[in-house]
Amino acid sequence: MKRLVQCVPNFSEGINKKTIEAIVAPLKNKAGFTLIGYEADPDYNRTVVTLLGDPEAMMEPLCLFIQKAIEKIDLRKHQGNHPRMGAVDVVPFIPIKGIKMEECITYAKQLAEKVSTFQIPVFLYGKAATKPERESLPAIRQGEFEGMKEKLLQPEWIPDYGPRERHETFGVVAIGARMPLIAFNIDLMSPDKEIASTIAKTIRKSSGGFQYVQAGPAYLNQRGHIQVTMNILDYTKNPIYRLLEMVKMEAKRYLIDVPSCELIGLVPRKALEESVFYYLERDQKNKSKFSIAEIAELAVFYLGLRDFNPGKIIESHLKE
């Protein structure tokens, strides 16, 4: 069986198309893995790249990709709505099929070692973390690019690889291994970021909410409204529909509409199916055996997903 890993590097440019294309170029049309897509968000000023395939084949292109980011991005001039600490901010390896988490950890360490030779400090995170305090990406990233200079001097934040000094223009990168997560953003028709912040607190673990949810506020300049942006670390425990319905419920007290939402990167079929089933049961509709295209269509209808297509469902790429 083929070994399939999903790798989702995030880099800190979401506006300049030429720069984005230059950085992504080394990942295009390579043997052994597929560039599924790259989603640039101008408000976040960040691009999320999704690769799927053999991790062995990804190693060299990932190094070239990171070298391009060193060349093209100067974080001292970077502003965006998403927290960041590096030009390439985070590179997770995610086991999908025929591969164990342990192997993904090994590939994370391999890449970390190579990247450290570019004079970039690297933290291992997620399942690859070397200390419990480094499992959480937000904990590592706290202080962001601006705070990393001092953070690296603290004895508890000595990087796992590379120099103990922030790269002047690139910053610091986290490389790790983790289970698939759902990157889910909910649109709220208001310009008031404070409200997105208050609602994010009602659902996220760190403020008393759901165990497997990280969430925060964002204001989307280009679209002119706020978002609650979240990672769902375990969608079997905290399914998409529950978070959407919770946010809708909270938004009612502010008389704010919640017309749409978006999934960033790939999503497992089961995660969508489970949420679609909630609405089908609620509305007393039949649950038959749906195709991937049907699941996608139902998810768009019931969750109000925008910019979605069946290619964003992992299983659409797993035809053997």
Which residues of the shown chain bind a second copy in the complex (CB under 8 A)?
A: 202, 205, 207-212, 234, 237-238, 242, 245-246, 249-250, 252-255, 278, 281-282, 284
Query: At 208, is the secondary structure helix, strand, or coil?
Result: coil
Angle made by CA atoms 248, 254, 256, in degrees to the nearest 5: 55
Smallest separation, CB 213 to a second copy (Å): 9
How many CB atoms neighbour CB 211 within 10 A? 10
> Would you call 279 helix, strand, or coil by DSSP?
helix
d(CA 186, CA 8): 21
Nearest in space to 180 (alpha carbons), one of 25, 313, 14, 319: 313
Q: Which residues pair with 93 in a beta bridge?
A: 7, 177
Q: Which is nearer to a second copy, 252 or 306 (CB)?
A: 252
CB nearer to a second copy: pick between 281 and 294: 281
82 catalytic per annotation: yes
Minimum distance, C-beta of residue 200 to a second copy, in the bound complex (Å): 14
| Closest approach of a second copy to the CB of residue 280, in Å | 9
Contact status, residue 55 vs residue 96, Cβ threshold 8 Å: no
User: Are 145 and 87 spatial neighbours (Cβ–Cβ below 8 Å)?
Assistant: no
What minimum distance in Å lies between the beta carbon of 246 and a second copy? 7
112, 129 contact by CB (below 8 A): no
Total residues belonging to the chain? 320
Nearer to a second copy, 30 or 248 (CB): 248
Structure tokens at 101: 């988490």
Look up residue 140 and give its two tokens: 């590592």
CA–CA–CA angle 78, 6, 110 (5° rounding): 75
Q: Nearer to a second copy by C-beta: 122 or 213?
A: 213
Which residue, 103 or 273, is less far from a second copy as judged by CB?
273
Minimum distance from residue 134 beta carbon to a second copy (Å):
22
Q: How many CB atoms lie within 10 A of CB 111?
A: 25
Identify the active-site residue in 78, 82, 167, 225. 82
Q: What are phi and psi of 271, to 5 degrees?
A: -65, -40
Residue 271 Cβ vs a second copy, minimum distance, rounded to whole Å: 14
- Indicate the pairing of strand 88-97 with strand 10-11: antiparallel
Nearest CB to a second copy, comparing residues 98 and 254: 254
Q: Which residues are catalytic?
A: 82
